[in-house]
C-alpha cells in the first residue's frame, strides 16, 4: 500500500545533467565554476542513497551532505569526496578520512582537528551577514595559523537569500585570500558558495580569480517539478449512507458518499502541509495533524480524485488517510493510484518508480 514517487526518468535525468553542466567559468579561462550536488535530510524526497548513486553516475568529484552522520549512507554509493556542510563541532566524529572534507567555522574546532593528526581536509567557513556560522575576518589570522597541520580546501560563504550579496562575497573572499597569503598554510584560490545563480557565480569567479564551487540541492533535484509526481495507492473504499458514522471520531455523514482510504499519512509527512495556495487550509491541516481532532472542521486534503482536491473524511493517520468522496464522483478502485501534492523535502515515500 505504497505512497510512490514517480520519476519521469529521461526528463529528470536530463534536467540534472543540464544543471550539473550549466555553470561555466569566466570566458578567459582564469577560473572555473563547478556544481557540487547536495543531499541531506530525507534526500529531497528521493533518499540520500539514491541521490548519492545519481551523483556517482554523473561522475561528479564531490558530493555535499548536511551532517557528518550522513556521510556513511552516501559513501555506500559514492566514492568521491564528501563535503560536510554543517560546521564541525566537538561532538562530531573526526576520524581521519581522506575523502571527507569538513566545514569548520571556529578556531577552537580547527585546533582540535589539528591535534587529532592525520592532516584532515577542511573548508573554512567565513562569517557573513547571515551571522549563522563562520570565522569572523578579525579571527582569520588565528584560524589560519591553527590550520598549519591541516589541508585547507578553500573558503565557504553562506549568504542570505534576501538582497544582493555579490559585493559582500567578493570583499570577504579578497580579504580571506589576502590573509591566507600572509599567515597561511597553502590555501587554494577556491570558494564554496550556495544560492548563487550560474551568472552570479561566474561573476564572482571572474572578479576574485577563484574557482567557485556552487552547492546546489533543490534547484538540481527538484528544479523540474513536472518530472516528478507523487501518487497514493487506494487501499480501501466504503460506500456510506447519510447518517452513517465513520472513523476514529465516529463523525456522521451528512449525505451519501464514499470514504476512500489512501496510502499516505503523517508517518510519510503527508498532510502536515497541504498544497500551497490555501494558507488557511494549510494551517488547519497542520493543526489537524497535530491532533486537534475536535477543533477540526473539515480540511482540504492534498489528494486529488477525479480531477479535484478532496476533503479529509477525518484527520490523517500514521500510514494512511481517509478522504471523503461525495456521491456522484467516480470512485477509484482498490489498487488505483491517485495524485497527491507533497512537499518533497518533508515526505518519505514508500517506493520510487522509475517511469519512462
Ligand atoms: C542545504 C544547503 C545547501 C543546498 O540548499 P538548496 O537550497 O537545497 O540548494 C547549500 N549550502 C548549504 C550550506 C546548505 O546547508
Give start and end residues of each alpha helix (H) in the chain.
9-21, 48-57, 71-75, 107-116, 140-146, 166-183, 198-208, 218-221, 279-289
Candidate of 41, 65, 83, 85 to mutate for ligand 1, largest count of ligand atoms within 8 Å of Cβ:
85
- What is the pTM assigned to this prediction? 0.90
Average pLDDT over residues 343-352: 95
Query: How does residue 292 score in pLDDT terms, banded at 50, 70 and 90?
Result: very low
Q: Which atom of ligand 1 is nearest to the CA of 158?
A: 13
Q: Which atom of ligand 1 is nearest to the CA of 40?
A: 1
Instruction: Quick: pLDDT tens for 81-103.
Output: 999 999 999 988 777 789 999 99
- Written as nine digits, the cell of 190 is 577556491
Neighbours of 328 (CB within 10 A): 9
Q: Which atom of ligand 1 is nearest to the CA of 216?
A: 9
- Written as nine digits, the cell of 213 is 564551487
Which of 160, 167, 163, 164 lies closest to 134 in space, CA to CA?
A: 160
Q: Which atom of ligand 1 is nearest to the CA of 222?
A: 8
Q: Which atom of ligand 1 is nearest to the CA of 215?
A: 10
Q: Whose CA is nearest to atom 4 of ligand 1?
A: 217
**Given phi > 0 = left and psi -120 to 50 = alpha, else beta, which region is 306?**
left
pLDDT confidence of residue 297: 56
**3-class DSSP state of 266:** helix
Query: Angle CA(219)–CA(129)–CA(151) in degrees, nearest 5?
Result: 75
Instruction: Quick: pLDDT tens for 107-121.
Output: 999 999 999 889 999
pLDDT confidence of residue 240: 97
pLDDT confidence of residue 26: 65
Round the average pLDDT of the chain to a whole number and report it. 90
Instruction: Quick: pLDDT tens for 198-252.
Output: 888 999 999 999 999 999 999 999 999 999 999 999 999 999 999 999 998 899 9
Ligand 1 centroid–CA 194 distance in Å is 6
Query: How does residue 170 score in pLDDT terms, banded at 50, 70 and 90?
Result: very high
Q: Whose CA is nearest to atom 9 of ligand 1?
A: 217
Q: Ligand 1: residues whose CB is within 6 Å?
A: 38, 40, 85, 158, 194, 215-219
Ligand 1 centroid–CA 7 distance in Å is 22
Domains and CATH numbers, the chain: 31-222 (3.20.20.10), 234-337 (no CATH)
DSSP 58-69: TT-SEEEESSGG
Amino acid at each position: 500500500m505504497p505512497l510512490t514517487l514517480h520519476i519521469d526518468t529521461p526528463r529528470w535525468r536530463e534536467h540534472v545533467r543540464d544543471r550539473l553542466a550549466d555553470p561555466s567559468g569566466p570566458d578567459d579561462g582564469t577560473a572555473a565554476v563547478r556544481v557540487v550536488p547536495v543531499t541531506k535530510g530525507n534526500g529531497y524526497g528521493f533518499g540520500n542513497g539514491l541521490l548519492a548513486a545519481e551523483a556517482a553516475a554523473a561522475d561528479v568529484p564531490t558530493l555535499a551532505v548536511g551532517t557528518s552522520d550522513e556521510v556513511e549512507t552516501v559513501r555506500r554509493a559514492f566514492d568521491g569526496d564528501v563535503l560536510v556542510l554543517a560546521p564541525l563541532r566537538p561532538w562530531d566524529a573526526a576520524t581521519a578520512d581522506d575523502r571527507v572534507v569538513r566545514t569548520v567555522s571556529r578556531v577552537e574546532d580547527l585546533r582540535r582537528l589539528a591535534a587529532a593528526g592525520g592532516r584532515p581536509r577542511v573548508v573554512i567557513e567565513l562569517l557573513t551577514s547571515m551571522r549563522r556560522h563562520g570565522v569572523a575576518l578579525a579571527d582569520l589570522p588565528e584560524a589560519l595559523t591553527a590550520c598549519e597541520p591541516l589541508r585547507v580546501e578553500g573558503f565557504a560563504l553562506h549568504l542570505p537569500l534576501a538582497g544582493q550579496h555579490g559585493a559582500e562575497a567578493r570583499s570577504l573572499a579578497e580579504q580571506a585570500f589576502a590573509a591566507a597569503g600572509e599567515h597561511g598554510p597553502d590555501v587554494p584560490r577556491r570558494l564554496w558558495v550556495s544560492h548563487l545563480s550560474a551568472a552570479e557565480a561566474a561573476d564572482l569567479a571572474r572578479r576574485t580569480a577563484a574557482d567557485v564551487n556552487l552547492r546546489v540541492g533543490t534547484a538540481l533535484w527538484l528544479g523540474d517539478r513536472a518530472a516528478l509526481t507523487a501518487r497514493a495507492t487506494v487501499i480501501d473504499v466504503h460506500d456510506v449512507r447519510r447518517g452513517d458514522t465513520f472513523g476514529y471520531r465516529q463523525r456522521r455523514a451528512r449525505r451519501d458518499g464514499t470514504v476512500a482510504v489512501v496510502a499516505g499519512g503523517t508517518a510519510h509527512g503527508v498532510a502536515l502541509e497541504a498544497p500551497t495556495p490555501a494558507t488557511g487550509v494549510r494551517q488547519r491541516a497542520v493543526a489537524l495533524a497535530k491532533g486537534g481532532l475536535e477543533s477540526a472542521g473539515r480540511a482540504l486534503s492534498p489528494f486529488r480524485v477525479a480531477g479535484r482536491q478532496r476533503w479529509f473524511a477525518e484527520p490523517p493517520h500514521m500510514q494512511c488517510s481517509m478522504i471523503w468522496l461525495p456521491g456522484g464522483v467516480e470512485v477509484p478502485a482498490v489498487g488505483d493510484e491517485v495524485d497527491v501534492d507533497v512537499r518533497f523535502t518533508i515526505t518519505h515515500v514508500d517506493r520510487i518508480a522509475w517511469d519512462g
